[in-house]
Amino acid sequence: MTEELFATDSYLKTCDATVIKADERGVVLDRTVFYARSGGQPGDSGVLGGIKVVDTFKDRDSGDYVHVLAAGEALPAVGDTVTAEIDWERRHKHMRMHSCLHLLCAVVDGGVTGGSIGEAKSRLDFDLPDTSLDKEQITADLNRLIEENHPVDFSTITDDELAANPELVRTMSVKPPSGQGVVRIIDIAGVDLQPCGGTHVKSTGEIGRVRVGKIENKGKHNRRINIHLEE
Ligand SMILES: [Zn+2]
């Protein structure tokens, strides 16, 4: 098992770790600051020692937490100690975008059917009937919540507590990370509260100004809202 250090501190950029597996998939460490792609958030890139990492994912079958190396990089040996360092500029944009999508959940009243996070553009899909969504209004509402600089806190609850409070779950297609006994709850006080395993900024002001891009019609009930960072 890999200790996921970002789960308790998403601002950690680097850690020392020991290689516990190295094979054709990549490198598994005993602990890491790299986020593995999930819930629409991309896996981190960065370096292990001098070795370039292009992606991180959790192997569904084995549960292994795999750092994918760039083509041509040589594998380290099991037992080696390496310094793991993420591409912080890229990750911080993901954190800003991800936190903004929580605000979008608060602004738009509808179940979330999907989503995706990127540095340049992120989106959420909402299960909404034929309603007209006002792009300028959503942009203004998001920027107001950002300017109000709400703290973003997290806590953990048990799987059983989550099962007893299904209204906490906003995403209809993406199940929150559970099955490990505890689930992380992200709390933007008075704004949004939901289980989420991703990485977030510590207060909404850090997101910076955003704007709503295209609002796409993706089927009878599906409205896709695209978000861009302005700075
Ligand atoms: Zn989140």
Contact 136, 203 (CB under 8 A): no
Model pLDDT for residues 14-32, shown as the tens digit of each residue = 999 999 999 999 999 999 9
How far is residue 50's CA from residue 144's CA, in Å, rounded to a whole number? 42
Instruction: Calculate how far, in angstroms, residue 71's C-alpha sits from the geometric centre of ligand 1.
Output: 31
pLDDT tier for residue 201 given thresholds of 50, 70 and 90 = very high
Instruction: Calculate how far, in angstroms, residue 72's C-alpha sits from the geometric centre of ligand 1.
Output: 34
Instruction: Calculate how far, in angstroms, residue 122's C-alpha sits from the geometric centre of ligand 1.
Output: 13
Closest CA to 103 of 216, 196, 35, 223: 196
Percent of the chain with pLDDT over 90: 71
Instruction: Calculate how far, in angstroms, residue 183's C-alpha sits from the geometric centre of ligand 1.
Output: 12
pLDDT tier for residue 54 given thresholds of 50, 70 and 90 = very high
pLDDT tier for residue 198 given thresholds of 50, 70 and 90 = very high
Task: Find the helix or strand (DSSP H, E) in which 115 lies.
Answer: strand 111-116
Using CB atoms within 10 Å of the CB of residue 210, give its burial: 0 to 12 exposed, 13 to 18 middle, 19+ buried: buried
Positive or negative: CA dihedral 41, 46, 48, 52:
positive
Residue 200 tokens read as 């977030």
Instruction: Calculate how far, in angstroms, residue 196's C-alpha sits from the geometric centre of ligand 1.
Output: 5
Instruction: Calculate how far, in angstroms, residue 78's C-alpha sits from the geometric centre of ligand 1.
Output: 33
pLDDT for the residue numbered 170: 63
Instruction: Calculate how far, in angstroms, residue 50's C-alpha sits from the geometric centre of ligand 1.
Output: 31
Q: Under 8 Å CB-to-CB from 219, ≥6 apart: which residues?
A: none
Claim: this prediction has a pTM higher than 0.85: yes
42 pLDDT above the threshold of 70:
yes
Instruction: Calculate how far, in angstroms, residue 39's C-alpha sits from the geometric centre of ligand 1.
Output: 8
pLDDT tier for residue 132 given thresholds of 50, 70 and 90 = confident
